[in-house]
Amino acid sequence: MQMNDQAKARLGGMMKTWDRRKKITSNLNRINSRIAVYSGKGGVGKTTIAVNLAVALAQLGNKVGLLDADIDCPNADKLMGVLQRPRYVDGVLHPAERAGVKTISMASVQENEEEAIIWRGPMITNAINQFLEMTEWGDLDFLVVDLPPGTSDSPLTIMQTLQLNGFVVVTTPQDLAVLDAKRSINMIKKMNIEILGVVENMAGDIFGKGGGERLAKDLDVAFLGRIELSKEFASFGADLAVLKHDKARKRYQAIAEGVISRLAEVTPAHEISTVPS
């Protein structure tokens, strides 16, 4: 029987999708743990925590990548202080590296950084898939993913596409922020992804202190640490906190150690892949 053109095209499309999935799976298989930093509320310090956590993990001797999955408002590369753009050679995207962290952000492939991009569901999946397909991360111990805020389509789609191993939830100490964080944690629980713990950010005289720790206790998840509201913990770019300030380095490294030990607890032994280090 002869295949008509329509059937041939459909088959071609299916094979392309299949090839793409295979490539993504083989790329993801070279990454031991994919962890996302998330909060229901915007502006609580996800990107700050994600970037410093990624560098702290590298300082502890791990191979680390950072994926800025906030494709509406990408800024992780700026906070990280990555100066070069990724190299794009023969269809492969080679991330730029700083402080031992390979970083990919939509901003680094955007022509004009002030341009707003409006993404809709399938486009988000497509963009993230394309990043996952094209990026040559090599073998990584950790991929830290900086997520956009909220419980809308975009973070949900990204969470599913990335096949995450666990979440770090960021909250500020105030009651209202904690309530939002509680909502996010409950959403994550519904998706059956592990919560590695809570980081309380911006603690101090202005927003108070202790909300994140109480939340962790309430929901029976780990409390990973507290970061004060201060320039020392939030300096970025050339002066990235974890690289420039001893106190910040110690604190972010303690959070990184907490993440590592929680991951070991929640990952069944047979699923710990053996990425050569």
Ligand X SMILES: Nc1ncnc2c1ncn2[C@@H]1O[C@H](COP(=O)(O)OP(=O)(O)OP(=O)(O)O)[C@@H](O)[C@H]1O
Q: Interface residues with Mg ion (CB under 5 A)? A: 46-47
Window contacting ligand X (CB under 6 A); options: 42-50, 128-136, 157-165, 216-224: 42-50
Q: Smallest distance from the beta carbon of 182 to ligand X, in angstroms?
A: 17
Which pair of tokens denotes residue 199? 């980081």
Q: Smallest distance from the beta carbon of 80 to Mg ion, in angstroms?
A: 12
Q: Smallest distance from the beta carbon of 28 to ligand X, in angstroms?
A: 24
Angstrom CA distances, 100 to 56, 138, 150, stand at 10, 13, 30
- Identify the residue among 42, 61, 121, 210 touching ligand X (CB under 6 A): 42
**Nearer to ligand X among residue 43 and residue 210 (C-beta):** 43
CA 137, 57, 40 angle in degrees (round to 5)? Answer: 85
**Nearer to ligand X among residue 149 and residue 212 (C-beta):** 149
Work out whether 225 is an interface residue with ligand X (CB under 6 A).
no
Work out whether 197 is an interface residue with ligand X (CB under 6 A).
no
Integer Cα distance of 38 and 137 in angstroms: 22
Window contacting ligand X (CB under 6 A); options: 94-102, 181-189, 228-236, 256-264: 228-236
* Size of the residue set binding ligand X (CB under 6 A): 18
Which pair of tokens denotes residue 201? 């950010």
Non-local CB neighbours of 14 within 8 Å, separated by 6+ positions: none
Looking at the DSSP assignment, which residues form a beta bridge with residue 169?
38, 198
Looking at the DSSP assignment, which residues form a beta bridge with residue 143?
34, 65
Partner in contact with 27, chosen from Mg ion, ligand X, none, beta carbon below 5 to 8 Å by kind? none
- Identify the residue among 40, 65, 86, 149 touching ligand X (CB under 6 A): 149
- C-alpha distance across the termini of the chain, in Å: 53
Window contacting ligand X (CB under 6 A); options: 39-47, 57-65, 104-112, 265-273: 39-47
Partner in contact with 77, chosen from Mg ion, ligand X, none, beta carbon below 5 to 8 Å by kind? none
Site map (CB under 6 A) of ligand X, residues 100-139, x = contact = ----------------------------------------
CA 251, 254, 260 angle in degrees (round to 5)? Answer: 145
**Nearer to ligand X among residue 184 and residue 201 (C-beta):** 201
Which pair of tokens denotes residue 78? 């700026």
Angstrom CA distances, 214 to 135, 181, 222, 268, 273, stand at 39, 12, 11, 28, 34
Work out whether 70 is an interface residue with ligand X (CB under 6 A).
yes
Non-local CB neighbours of 59 within 8 Å, separated by 6+ positions: 99, 100, 242, 249, 253, 256
Kindly report the backbone phi and psi dihedral angles of residue 197, in degrees, each rounded to the nearest multiple of 5, phi listed first: 150, 180
Site map (CB under 6 A) of ligand X, residues 234-253, x = contact = x-------------------
Q: Which residues bind ligand X (CB under 6 A)?
A: 39, 42-48, 70, 73, 149, 201-202, 227, 229-230, 233-234
